[in-house]
Amino acid sequence: MSESSSGTAASAPAAAGGANKTAADARFLRIENLVKEFDSVVAVDKVSIDIRKGEIFALLGSSGCGKSTLLRMLAGFETPTSGRILLDGRDIAQIPPYERPINMMFQSYALFPHLSVWDNVAFGLRRAGLPKDQVADQVEKMLGLVQLKQFAKRKPHQLSGGQQQRVALARSLAKRPQLLLLDEPLGALDKKLRERTQLELVGIIESVGVTCVMVTHDQEEAMTMASRIAIMSEGRILQIGAPAEIYETPNCRFVADFIGNVNLFKGKVVEDAADHVIVDTPECRHYVGHGITGTEGMEVSVAIRPEKIRITRERPGGAHDGFNCVEAEVADLAYLGSYTIYHLKLATGLLVKASIASVERLPDWQPTWGDKVFASWDEYAMVVLTQ
Amino acid sequence: MNKLLARLMPNNPGRAVVIGVPYLWLVLFFLLPFLIVLKISVSEMNVGQPPFKPLTEMVDNFLNIRVYLGNFISLFDVANDDLYARTYLSSLKYAAWTTIFCLVIGFPFAYFMARARPTIRPALLMLVMMPFWTSFLLRVYAWKAILTTNGVFNQILIGLGIIGEPLHMLHTPFSLMIGMVYVYLPFMILPLYANLVKLDGRLLEAAADLGATPWQRFWLVTVPLSKSGIIAGSMLVFIPCVGEFVIPELLGGPETLMIGRVLWDELFSNNDWPRAAAVAVVTILLIIVPLAIFNKYQAESQGERT
Ligand SMILES: Nc1ncnc2c1ncn2[C@@H]1O[C@H](COP(=O)(O)OP(=O)(O)OP(=O)(O)O)[C@@H](O)[C@H]1O
Ligand SMILES: [Mg+2]
């Protein structure tokens, strides 16, 4: 990707300069070394992210990690302690919230209780001084988009949670913002409705084509909705990547642990080659089929996802006999329909989780409580974490 | 009636007692006295004891009920004597101005109290209620000392060289308004504060996010959402102001006609109980109208919240 670009490239016609345009699009929203301190608490700590034009970007992290604070700085409700925010090449730090081309959908919607659905959606358009007929057109369009036309006259408290959520979405999209911010967009909905709404929301956002930054602490929601995810912890960004990238190649123990389930084996690197490493842990020797940036003798963790573990009755043979295999006892199991989770107790006392998909309806053999089994995995199933 | 009974007497007798006590209180100390006043207001004046004539009379085995409307008619007989009409209007006028001034002064007050750090809010609330710790009469007298011709206020102004001659302030509409606004301000601030403190800050942020300037946010979000507080505060100020007696008596002058003083004069100077009662009844009716509107609004906004 070309780094040479000019700030005006994004507004130039598409044919004018393909490379420049894509470069500018790739950092449509640029967050540079953003810091926010509250008294002594550092809520956001040197965060830098580039967000592409038109993508849905998710900030994912546990409660109190600074997601909302970061989002509120984008909206203009908090002033950064230091750092810059560039939207389409323009520094927006000094622009008050009511002049930013950015709209936000609030965590609990913050719909105006004294205004009807129609007036809620029209609120922003009226402030922009649009003529009456244009306001009406745009409101009708937005209500159509979220399928709430028949509720236009109702007050927010006369709507269900899901309907309120859609009013909030319509209201934040009505002014055609350059950037849409969603703070826990589905946090107030129950689980079933949430799953249905996730894809619906993505559909609406993509049909409008707006760039979107969302905040969530629900990893499933982030993975379903976002094209890229940033994992946050204690105000810092730990990793940015596509959902699959973050799941399959987490770059540190926190991310591995935070996204999905993971088994961690702590040990030392005993052999460090270009195409493989061997890690010794008290439980077993690991043959890892890729190189790492590290040295022999280094303390590392080997991470293995539960679904990548096989359970067999006999010790499996194969290319790397003696590696990547442990003897274990089934301590517990939970049948969850599409898969079964096994808790395997190793000789060292470590508990390993394995999930086995229910591929066959009535398999020949199923491990059960107290069974002595072998758990094994292949050389590409592991990620070596150095942090 | 059955419905009312059913409501008052649910299956739970304890509940009936709890609900019944305030009803009993209201009937005993408000409805009954009001009915007595109403009765006196339609009697004829009597020189002697009691100072009004009975309503019923037995004449030749006829029970005569004599409802005398002369007291009311004379109140509105503008052609003959427009004192009462003028006084009512001027009472309403002063009450309305007091309400407006209290609202204009009290709203920012309540707003900043509600926006203050939660830790200092109780202290601010205490400051607003502090005047209640001193006798009401003393405080109004204190204003007399401040506003009188060689009082504190004039001396300060002369001392600063702003004026040469002392101003005549006491017993003018000015001193009356000062006293009324001063006394009734807390009654405006407290309901407004209670309302504004509940205002969801995220609604203001949402308005800002949608392009509303601070001024627009105030008029389009804060004011509509504090409507019930504004109404409650205004009622608490307006209603007692209409019938206020002590402040106009001490701080008002000959031009500041207020119905409370007229009532006092009728009762104690002219000893005309029926007319005083009629004045009181009309005053109550004047106040009941805004109160009914307020109740209706309250009921509506209650329904909105559920
Ligand atoms: N106005 C404030 N004053 C002081 N500290 C604050 C303020 N706002 C946030 N913080 C602190 O900053 C940190 C991050 O808060 P933030 O609201 O961004 O978390 P979050 O990631 O959105 O959490 P959640 O998922 O619970 O919403 C927290 O430790 C919080 O206590
Ligand atoms: Mg939050």
Q: Which atom of ligand 1 is nearest to the CA of A66?
A: 18
> Is residue A289 pLDDT above 90, yes or no?
no
Judge: B304–A124 Cβ closer than 8 Å, yes or no.
no
CA distance A171 to A184: 16
Cβ–Cβ contacts within 10 Å for residue A231, how many?
26
Query: In Å, how far from its chain's centre is CA A336?
Result: 25
Is the same domain home to A148 and A201? yes
* Alpha carbon of A156: minimum distance to chain B alpha carbons (Å): 10
Give B-chain residues touching A75 at CB under 8 angstroms: 205, 209
pLDDT band, residue A9 (cuts 50/70/90): very low
Say yes or no: CB of residue A65 within 6 Å of ligand 1.
yes
Q: How many domains does chain A have?
A: 2
CA dihedral angle for residue A140, residue A141, residue A143, residue A148, rounded to 10 degrees: 90
pLDDT for position A80: 92
User: Per-residue pLDDT tens for A124-140?
Assistant: 999 998 999 999 999 99
Residues A92, A97, A99, A103: is their CA dihedral positive or negative?
positive
Is the same domain home to A51 and A196? yes
User: pLDDT > 90: what percent of chain A?
Assistant: 44
CA distances from residue B270 to A112, A192, B36, B265 in whole angstroms, order as listed: 58, 79, 20, 6
Say yes or no: CB of residue A43 within 6 Å of ligand 1.
yes
Give the CATH number, domain containing residue A316: 2.40.50.140
Ligand nearest to the CA of A182: 2
pLDDT for position A19: 62
A32 membership: H or E segment, kind and range = strand A29-38
What's the first-to-final CA gap in chain B, in angstroms? 28
Whether residue A112 is contained in a domain is answered as yes
Residue B270 amino acid letter: N
3-state secondary structure at position B275? helix
Whether residue A8 is contained in a domain is answered as no
CA distance B74 to B80: 8
**Size of chain B in residues:** 306
In what order do the strands lie in the sheet containing A372-376?
Answer: A310-312, A372-376, A325-335, A339-346, A351-357
Last residue of a domain, one of A248, A281, A316: A248
pLDDT for position A347: 87
Question: Between B122 and B2, whose confidence is greater?
Answer: B122
Is the same domain home to A267 and A244? no
Closest CA to B245 of B219, B270, B264: B264
Domain that holds residue A308: 261-385
Is the same domain home to A72 and A188? yes
Judge: B221–A98 Cβ closer than 8 Å, yes or no.
no
Is the same domain home to A167 and A89? yes
User: pLDDT > 70: what percent of chain B?
Assistant: 94
Whether residue A20 is contained in a domain is answered as no
CA gyration radius, chain A = 25
User: Per-residue pLDDT tens for B247-284?
Assistant: 999 998 888 889 998 899 888 988 889 999 999 999 98
CA dihedral angle for residue B130, residue B133, residue B138, residue B141, rounded to 10 degrees: 10
Whether residue A34 is contained in a domain is answered as yes
pLDDT band, residue B3 (cuts 50/70/90): low
CA distance A368 to B156: 95
Say yes or no: CB of residue A63 within 6 Å of ligand 1.
yes
Max mean pLDDT range (A113-122, A245-254, B52-61) = A113-122
Do residues A97 and B208 lie in contact, with contact meaning Cβ atoms separated by under 8 Å?
A: yes
Exposure string over A329-361, b if 16+ CB within 10 A, otherwise e: ebeebeeeeeebbbbbebeeebebbbbbeeeee
pLDDT band, residue A10 (cuts 50/70/90): very low
Is the same domain home to A266 and A244? no
Q: Indicate yes or no: pTM above 0.90.
A: no
CA distance B175 to B167: 12
Whether A188 and chain B come into contact, CB under 8 Å, resolves to no
Residue A36 has which token pair?
């926010």
Closest CA to B100 of B184, B220, B172: B184
Whether residue A330 is contained in a domain is answered as yes
Q: Give the environment of ion ligand 2: residues with CB less than 5 A.
A: A 68
Residues B278, B280, B284, B287: is their CA dihedral positive or negative?
positive
Whether A114 and chain B come into contact, CB under 8 Å, resolves to yes
Give the CATH number, domain containing residue A219: 3.40.50.300
Is the same domain home to A57 and A166? yes
Judge: B203–A110 Cβ closer than 8 Å, yes or no.
yes
* Alpha carbon of A79: minimum distance to chain B alpha carbons (Å): 14
Judge: B209–A75 Cβ closer than 8 Å, yes or no.
yes
Whether A300 and chain B come into contact, CB under 8 Å, resolves to no
* Alpha carbon of B106: minimum distance to chain A alpha carbons (Å): 23
Phi, psi dihedral angles at B64 (to 5 degrees): -95, 125
CA distances from residue B170 to A323, B140, B143, B173, B252 in whole angstroms, order as listed: 102, 12, 9, 9, 7
What ipTM was assigned to the predicted interfaces of this complex?
A: 0.77
Do residues A118 and A142 lie in contact, with contact meaning Cβ atoms separated by under 8 Å?
A: no
Percent helix / strand / coil, chain A, rounded to 5: 30, 35, 40
> Is residue B159 pLDDT above 60, yes or no?
yes
> Is residue A241 pLDDT above 70, yes or no?
yes
Is the same domain home to A265 and A243? no
CA distance A334 to A349: 20
* Residue in the structure block whose two tokens are 């003083």: B261
Across residues B180-209, what is the average pLDDT? 93
User: pLDDT > 70: what percent of chain A?
Assistant: 94
Residue of chain A whose Cα is closest to the Cα of B303:
A157
Domain ranges of chain B: 69-305
CA distance A374 to A133: 72
Residue of chain A whose Cα is closest to the Cα of B301:
A114
pLDDT for position A212: 93
Judge: B212–A155 Cβ closer than 8 Å, yes or no.
no
Judge: B209–A97 Cβ closer than 8 Å, yes or no.
yes
> A215-219, A237-241, B302-306 — which is least confidently predicted?
B302-306
Whether residue A17 is contained in a domain is answered as no
User: Per-residue pLDDT tens for B48-95?
Assistant: 788 888 888 888 888 888 888 888 988 888 888 888 889 999 999 999
User: Per-residue pLDDT tens for A323-365?
Assistant: 888 889 999 999 888 899 999 999 888 999 999 998 887 778 8
Distance (Å) from CA A246 to ligand 1 centroid: 25
Cβ–Cβ contacts within 10 Å for residue B238, how many?
23
* Alpha carbon of A153: minimum distance to chain B alpha carbons (Å): 14
Closest CA to A79 of A70, A87, A68, A67: A70
Interface test with A, best of B210, B219, B225 (most A CBs within 10 A): B210
Residue of chain A whose Cα is closest to the Cα of B205:
A77
User: Which mutation among A68, A108, A236 tests ligand 1's pocket best, with the greatest number of atoms within 8 A of CB?
Assistant: A68
- Angle B227-242/B173-196 helices, nearest 10 degrees? 150
B285 membership: H or E segment, kind and range = helix B273-305
Whether residue A123 is contained in a domain is answered as yes
CA distance A118 to A143: 8
CA distance A58 to A246: 12
What is B69-305's CATH number?
1.10.3720.10
